[in-house]
Chains A and B, each alone.
Chain A
Amino acid sequence: MSGQQRFAELHLDRVQRAFGDTVALKGMDLTIKGGEFVALLGPSGCGKSTALNCLAGLLPLTGGRITLDGKRIDDLPPEKRGFGMVFQNYALFPHMSVRRNIGFGLSMRRTPKAELNRRVDEAVRLVQLEEHQHKFPAQLSGGQQQRVAIARAIVLEPPLVLMDEPLSNLDAALRLEMRTEIRRLHQSLGLTTVYVTHDQEEALALADRLVVLRLGEVQQVGSPEEVYAHPVNRYVAGFMGYRNMIPVTVTSQDGERTTVRADGVELVGVKREELTEKAVAAVRPEDFAVVTETGANTLEATVEIVEYHGREQAVQARLRNGGQLHVRTSSRLASGDTIRLKVPVERVLVFS
């Protein structure tokens, strides 16, 4: 499959969607370049599916506009936009065989029989369903149904493929396998893809660019590295694995370097937002090092719960003031130990 209609730029301009009084999508601005893999990331109910349905044309906008290479498309019905979509529940046609499901879009376009068969063959091979092509959806496993849904969407070589949590109904092992599969398809076909997920690991693994959403608002747009290492606010940080949010008092600021007091101890960190006196210091569990001596940027805590995870242990510890810390370490600890935890300055992010 080659030669899909590449576009240069898809532009969302203050796209808004309200359901009665609830605004599910609050003025979303986003530019998607041809060939890109963009992930929309956020917890359940933050408006990801709404955004995707607006792009597909399944939901009319209540504000803003969508343009494709300068042409306005938000007033087109879904069948005129021609974007491929993979639904969360797959939405396979239960009364059609795998082949007819995959060929559905082509037959709607009145593709000549010979070409239709050739392209369906190709798509069936691409998703490795040769043995199952004459079965009906009810006779397939979840992973196979997923492959049919993907093949059905991409056989038309759409300019844009939309995927709504396509892996969320699969078990863990299959999820990893299909994730690689989706990435492989994207790389070999170069299809522009918008992928919705609530799983940050999935988004980081798949996407060229992440869009983090919260309550219908875009929080941050950036490459996986940017979002992972430099979250712009405490919400994105929390979503990107900064599980420790320690309430602190700001004592002094020197450019980015910020000194705060937490649990009677001074911590030095990096400021990520304009700060007032009350702030939070965000630290990833794996950025703590268990040390023996007291020193700068070191907190003291008591181990409460230890979970064995192979090479590492996941430890829950309690600060003297009652605050809880999550730590991942390869040191062997036991419940009741008093430990000192040191964290590098650049790994303490201070948010307002």
Chain B
Amino acid sequence: MTAVLSPRDRRSLQRASLKHRLAEKGVDRVLWLLVPGAVFVALLFVYPFLYGLQLSFQPKGGGNPFQNYVTFFSDPYLADTVWITLRLGLPAALFNVLASIPIAFRMRGRFRGKRALTTLLVIPITLGTVLTAEGLLAFFGPTGWFNRIWMALGADEPARLTHNYWGVLFSLIITGFPFAFLLTLSYLSGIDPTLEQAAATLGASKRQRFRTITMPLLAPGLAVTFCLSFVLAFSVFPSAVMVGNPAGETHVMSIAAYETALRDNDFAMGSAIAMLMALVMLIVIGVVLIWRTTLYRGATGGKG
């Protein structure tokens, strides 16, 4: 290469080679565009988190830095919130993921009215928790339609479906299902349909195809869907107040944190509860994701 290069050519050559040198070190200059976003996230998320964390170790009355945590676990009214919230969040997330599988399975192909049906299934997202709660009160309340029909069918007393555990669970299912469904549907449409056809020509029945092909390829996606559904359900607040029994059966962690911080003015204790909430979520997500690493997670051959 002894050809004469104009200075401009040489500059552009150097630029290109700089790009290649950086690429070899795994540096992609376009990704630097994410820096402002990353700073924003740090300011809005990491800083408050760290602030809350250190605050939780400065109990209102001074003394033992772990005092807030000790108080939490020695006061059954507070300690029980962990179990109460898990008892709502885990079944709601599990139900939403499991229920979305057969529905997404049916909705994979092309059929008349698919768009209308998808819209109907997704509408609860747009309603928001408060509207859903009001609807639930009107529908399942002591004088709601459900109980009128229930009584007309000969029941002695109205079924108690609101202002308790069940009301909150229903609300979590109604608002959480669309997320689970949309995620499952997109994971499912990422699986190449000829894989199932191939399995069929090899003699696999519908059930065997589901068990040996679809489920293994879908499972990693379901794990992620479960984690997201769980996080959504675990931080339940409005419906626990509106259709639940916030002082008893549905005294969830977020309500406890809110009450200590804003009603009792004990921000340090509130922070401690919020930290414990994050910890419980991380443990559940960690367990699910560890299980996920044991699965096949490569390409599923579909159009993605």
Contact = CB atoms under 8 A, between A and B. Distances in A.
A78 B200 contact: yes
Interface residues of A, number: 28
Interface string A278-290: 0000000000000
B204 A91 contact: no
B80 to A, nearest CB: 42
Nearest to B209: A79
Nearest to A77: B200
Interface string A134-173: 0010100000000000001100100000100000000000
B298 A79 contact: no
B217 A85 contact: no
Q: Is the interface of B mostly helix, strand, loop or mixed?
A: helix
Contacts of B208: 108
Contacts of B217: 94-95
Interface in B158-209: 192, 194-195, 197-205, 208
Contacts of A216: none
B301 interface: yes
Nearest to B296: A95
Contact of B201 (A85, A92, A94): A85
A57 B204 CA distance: 13
A334 interface: no
A1 interface: no
Q: How large is the interface on B (under 10, 10 to 19, 20 to 34, 35 or more residues)?
A: 20 to 34
B298 A105 contact: no
A153 B198 CA distance: 9
A40 B94 CA distance: 49
Interface in A64-94: 77-79, 81-85, 87, 89, 91-94
A91 B202 contact: no
Nearest to B199: A104
A34 B63 CA distance: 90
Nearest to B197: A58
Contacts of A162: 201
Given A79-B205, A138-B299, A93 B195 contact: yes
Interface in B253-291: none
B198 A85 contact: yes
Given A91-B192, A93-B213, A138 B298 contact: yes
A58 B201 contact: yes
Interface in B52-75: none
Interface of A: 56-58, 77-79, 81-85, 87, 89, 91-95, 104-105, 108-109, 136, 138, 152-153, 156, 162
Interface of B: 192, 194-195, 197-205, 208, 212-213, 216-217, 296, 298-301
